[in-house]
Structure 1
Amino acid sequence: MIFSEELSKAAALYQLSLTQDQAEAYNKYFDLLIRWNQQVNLTAITQPDQVAVKHMIDSISCFDQTVFFAGAHMIDVGTGAGFPGLPLKIFQADLDLTLLDSLNKRVKFLQCVVDELKLENTTVIHARAEEGARQKQYREQFDVAVSRAVARLTVLCEYCLPFVKIGGYFVALKGMQYADEVDEANRVIAILGGKLEKIVPVKLPGLDDIRAVLYIKKIKKTPTVYPRKAGTPEKSPLS
Structure 2
Amino acid sequence: MTNENRELLKKGIEEFNLVADEKTLDRFKTYRELLAQWNQKMNLTGIDDEKGTYIKHFLDSLSAVTGGYIKDEMSIIDVGTGAGFPGIPLKVCLENTKVTLLDSLNKRINFLQEVCTQLNLENVEFIHGRAEDFGKNPEYREKYDIATARAVAGLPILMEFCVPFIKKGGYFVCLKGPNANLELEESKKAMTTLGIEFVEKIDVKLPETDLNHNILVFKKISETPSKYPRKAGKPAKSPIK
TM-score for both structures, normalised by structure 1: 0.95
TM-aligned CA deviation for residue 9 of structure 1:
1.2
Distance 2:224 2:213 in 1: 28
The 3-state SS of whatever aligns with 2:215 is strand
TM-aligned CA deviation for residue 67 of structure 1:
2.3
Deviation readout 1:166-194 (Å, 9 max, x if unpaired)? 00001000001111111111221121010
Percent identity of the aligned residues?
Answer: 43
Distance 1:11 1:183 in 2: 36
Specify which of 41, 44, 48 is matched with residue 43 of structure 2.
Answer: 41
C-alpha spacing 1:177/1:138, structure 2 compared with 1 (3 Å): same
Distance 1:74 1:229 in 2: 23
Deviation readout 1:62-107 (Å, 9 max, x if unpaired)? 1147422222110000000000000000011111000000000000
TM-aligned CA deviation for residue 52 of structure 1:
0.7
Number of equivalenced pairs? 238
What's 2:103 paired with?
A: 101
Residue 68 of structure 1 contacts residue 95 of structure 1 at CA under 8 Å; is this kept in 2?
Answer: no
TM-aligned CA deviation for residue 24 of structure 1:
0.6
Distance 1:170 1:32 in 2: 29
Distance 1:60 1:130 in 2: 26
Residue 172 of structure 2 contacts residue 218 of structure 2 at CA under 8 Å; is this kept in 1?
Answer: yes
Distance 1:18 1:162 in 2: 33
Deviation readout 1:135-161 (Å, 9 max, x if unpaired)? 110000000001000001110000000
Let me know the Cα RMSD of the aligned residues.
1.4
Distance 1:46 1:61 in 2: 20
TM-aligned CA deviation for residue 210 of structure 1:
2.0
Consecutive unaligned residues of structure 2, counting only runs of 5 or more, are: none
Distance 2:55 2:81 in 1: 17
Counterpart AA for 2:184: V
What's 1:12 paired with?
A: 11
The 3-state SS of whatever aligns with 1:201 is strand
Specify which of 129, 132, 139 is matched with residue 131 of structure 2.
Answer: 129
Counterpart AA for 1:8: E
Question: Are 2:181 and 1:182 equivalent residues in the alignment?
Answer: no
The 3-state SS of whatever aligns with 1:30 is helix
C-alpha spacing 1:189/1:7, structure 2 compared with 1 (3 Å): farther
Counterpart AA for 1:178: A
What's 1:52 paired with?
A: 54
The farther-off stretch of 228-237 and 57-66 is 57-66
What's 1:147 paired with?
A: 149
The 3-state SS of whatever aligns with 1:61 is helix
What's 2:236 paired with?
A: 234
Distance 1:37 1:98 in 2: 22
The 3-state SS of whatever aligns with 2:127 is strand
Consecutive unaligned residues of structure 1, counting only runs of 5 or more, are: none
Residue 11 of structure 1 contacts residue 57 of structure 1 at CA under 8 Å; is this kept in 2?
Answer: no
Specify which of 184, 190, 193 is matched with residue 191 of structure 1.
Answer: 193
Distance 1:195 1:12 in 2: 33
Residue 10 of structure 1 contacts residue 205 of structure 1 at CA under 8 Å; is this kept in 2?
Answer: no
What's 1:173 paired with?
A: 175
C-alpha spacing 1:19/1:139, structure 2 compared with 1 (3 Å): same
The 3-state SS of whatever aligns with 1:33 is helix
Runs of 4+ residues over 6 Å off in structure 1:
none
Specify which of 163, 167, 191 is matched with residue 165 of structure 2.
Answer: 163
The 3-state SS of whatever aligns with 2:92 is helix
